[in-house]
Amino acid sequence: MPDRESSTKKPKRGCPNGSADLGPSAVKDVDDICEYIARNSQVYARVFAQEVVGLAESIAEQPHLGAAVPEYDQEDIRERLLHNYRVIYRLRGEDVEVVAVVHGARRLPRTPPG
């Protein structure tokens, strides 16, 4: 199982004027995904958690690189892909909050997370 701190801490590097954070729902998503992955490999579970944090750092540096989530049709709710997962984030002024990490085969809730 991954180190809980590594999947929940705020990324150290942020864009010059803002930052990215994993919101509570996204932290739970990552924890659940890592628990599932850890059934077969604790190493890959840890790697996945690190990749999510790394992607959050990347999102903070270039928040408009991700596409708007088509299900929500709102410019402030965007996504980047990580393996088979959709990392969904919300733009909040200069800051970015990762609000969900969802397997690409799953349906999103009707209302936007976060």
Kindly give the confidence (pLDDT) of every residue in the chain, 114 residues in length, as a single tens digit, with 9 standing for 90 and above: 444 444 444 433 334 445 679 999 999 999 999 999 999 999 999 999 999 999 999 999 999 999 999 999 999 999 999 999 999 999 988 889 999 999 999 999 888 887
Is 112 part of a structural domain of the chain? no
Contacts 24+ apart (CB under 8 A), 7-14: 7/31, 7/34, 7/49, 7/52, 7/53, 9/53, 11/53, 11/54, 11/56, 11/57, 11/60, 12/57, 13/57, 13/60, 13/61, 14/57, 14/60, 14/61
Question: What is the domain count for the chain?
Answer: 1
Is 27 part of a structural domain of the chain? yes
Q: What pLDDT does 15 receive?
A: 43
Is 80 part of a structural domain of the chain? yes
CATH number of the domain within which 95 lies: 3.30.2310.20
Q: What pLDDT does 12 receive?
A: 36
Q: What pLDDT does 72 receive?
A: 95
Is 72 part of a structural domain of the chain? yes
Residue ranges making up the domain that contains 68: 4-103
Is 17 part of a structural domain of the chain? yes
